[in-house]
Structure 1
């Protein structure tokens, strides 16, 4: 039985961040007002970072048709160091934001850095940023279907038009985007996608949500005790306490009483047989996160029971979404970036499974 509670607690660096940036008091804003404010802040931060990146990367806006006729926004990030005839790998980026937040421009710095740095390290890479649709206007499973349509577009359009390598497509996401990623990759593996495209070469799951809040019983059954669950240990964690996580998932309007074995909604509840043969998988997990155990249990399933190559990183002492504060405040921000950049390159090398859950721990001891 699993017990990951030793990874809990806050680091001294995080305590310093909390002191410098106290949590704002509830303001009574509506959902749409919250989204507008959050997106504006994310876009402002990204734009400031882009001033140092703009001359290193070309941004190419594209329109991606969804199955219902909706035109999804997409943006390619092509490092200027990568020749147009290089047949680079492509990383499909699905942003975080609780299924509610995120825009095309809010991801410019993340995607540009990822494309530039991964390419500079020896793996030519372009990034496709897909702005899937958000709550509250669009409910479950719209964003998940948008991701499927984005993957289909890559092979129908990006491969012939831009010359990316169809055998080197990696999909990844952060938080809600990691949830959508895990479903997309598992659905392809199970032969359930509406369009048959080449197998994804790898997946990157950063601070993933993998199980709907109504379907958590199989997760608890794998733990030594419900009391050691990260949902209990980190119930009141910074940035994403449990009640805020429920706020986001409630906006999805998932039908009541979903099946716990519905792997489209809860890929973290898949069986060993269902995940056997998945592509190499990278995990980035925070110790001070209610979602911690979902990521670690899925990594354990893939590594130990299904023989899937895994690359698992745990950031000790920091909460869900810590990366927003950057390396000037939190040294593990550099580890986060390296996990993604090096993880994509690792997945593309067809790594061998170890059949053990090897966790690379980053960060200082917790208090």
Structure 2
């Protein structure tokens, strides 16, 4: 029986950061909160591009992806400076986080550029493809899922245009983006969408602080805990950044609970996939926050994949909450976060063999 409570914290480093944080805004409408946080995320990304010298190491190009209903979606590629389009590179498809409510194209510039930046790593150069899928409350389920699948197909149809290699596409995401990543990988494997099935198999997936199951349809693996009180839903119910109440808000805005087949629908709940359904998934890297309500579903899914022959690497950041990376150099785990993402991409492309389930933690 499992007990992951040792990772919860909070850590001393996090407590020092938390003490200096301003009080969160109150009495804002969903629309006001969305505008405020998106503005802050874009400003932070723009500052990181300057402070970390990222603008000089990447070349960016904007694209337009047409979704299945005719909607035009923003997309952007990030390529190592000086590497021409004629030189084909592996591709990382990036899906941002934000509870399906927050996030813009520009809010991801620094994250995507850090992945491309070769100054601090020796891995294979790559091009990052960033898609701005649609968000709530304007667009409910399955808009984001449809957009990501359409972007994946578009990417393969335009692979020469962005200078990529079709057989070396790794997909990854943060939080809600991790959910979309896991859903995409399973959908392609099941072959129900002929467009996805016709594309080369995803070479790997990187799941950072992922949500993998809808609140009302948690996987039966939760019962593998030593005690219900050890659940991260209980231990981390009031955790910073993503308390359970905010999780429920995000879920309500999606409207998933209205679907009759939600529990059985793996597009909605990839974390509930059976052993047979996951056994041929690509190499998978997990980055999981210890003081996060989503901790257990990430760890259980990682264990599930490893036990069914999927090459799997799991890293837990002890004592920090969901989304801690936004605080940058104030937390030592931020550098490791970047390493886990970049190394996860390179590791997947190396075609690793399956290994026993093991949790790495800092």
Coarse TM-score class (shorter-chain normalised): over 0.9
Q: Displacement of 1:87 after TM fit?
A: 1.0
**1:45 corresponds to which residue?**
44
Question: 2:272 aligned with 1:269, yes or no?
Answer: yes
Q: Displacement of 1:259 after TM fit?
A: 3.9
Structure 2 CA distance for aligned equivalents of residues 324 and 117 of structure 1? 21
Structure 1 CA distance for aligned equivalents of residues 75 and 293 of structure 2? 31
**1:284 corresponds to which residue?**
287
**2:215 corresponds to which residue?**
213
SS of residue paired to 2:98: coil
2:303 to 300, 303, 314: 300
Provide closer, same or farther for how the CA distance between residues 358 and 118 of structure 1 changes in structure 2, counting only shifts above 3 A: farther
The count of residues paired between Structure 1 and Structure 2 equals 357
1:222 to 221, 224, 247: 224
- Could you give the per-residue CA deviations for residues 168-224 of structure 1, whole angstroms, max 9, x where no partner exists? 100000000000110000110111234020000000000000000010151422222
SS of residue paired to 2:61: strand
**1:365 corresponds to which residue?**
none
- Could you give the per-residue CA deviations for residues 292-349 of structure 1, whole angstroms, max 9, x where no partner exists? 0010000000001x1100011100010000000002x100101100000111000000
Q: Displacement of 1:225 after TM fit?
A: 1.9
Provide closer, same or farther for how the CA distance between residues 96 and 123 of structure 1 changes in structure 2, counting only shifts above 3 A: same
Provide closer, same or farther for how the CA distance between residues 219 and 257 of structure 1 changes in structure 2, counting only shifts above 3 A: farther
Question: 2:256 aligned with 1:245, yes or no?
Answer: no
Structure 2 CA distance for aligned equivalents of residues 251 and 336 of structure 1? 29
Q: Displacement of 1:249 after TM fit?
A: 1.1
Q: Select between 235-244 and 219-228 the one with higher mean Cα deviation.
A: 219-228
| CA RMSD of superposed structures (Å) | 1.4
Structure 1 CA distance for aligned equivalents of residues 240 and 226 of structure 2? 25
SS of residue paired to 1:41: helix
Q: Report 1:66-215 matches (<5 A).
A: 66-117=67-118, 121-157=122-158, 159-195=159-195, 196-215=198-217
Kept in 1, the 8 Å contact 2:219–2:272? The answer is: no
- Could you give the per-residue CA deviations for residues 223-266 of structure 1, whole angstroms, max 9, x where no partner exists? 22211100001011011110011111110011155442321111
| TM-score, length of structure 1 as denominator length | 0.94
Q: Displacement of 1:160 after TM fit?
A: 2.4
Structure 2 CA distance for aligned equivalents of residues 233 and 348 of structure 1? 36
SS of residue paired to 2:117: helix
Find runs of 4+ consecutive structure 1 residues off by over 6 angstroms.
Answer: none
| TM-score, length of structure 2 as denominator length | 0.96
Structure 2 CA distance for aligned equivalents of residues 118 and 82 of structure 1? 15
Q: Displacement of 1:121 after TM fit?
A: 2.0
Kept in 2, the 8 Å contact 1:148–1:193? The answer is: no
Structure 2 CA distance for aligned equivalents of residues 124 and 113 of structure 1? 12
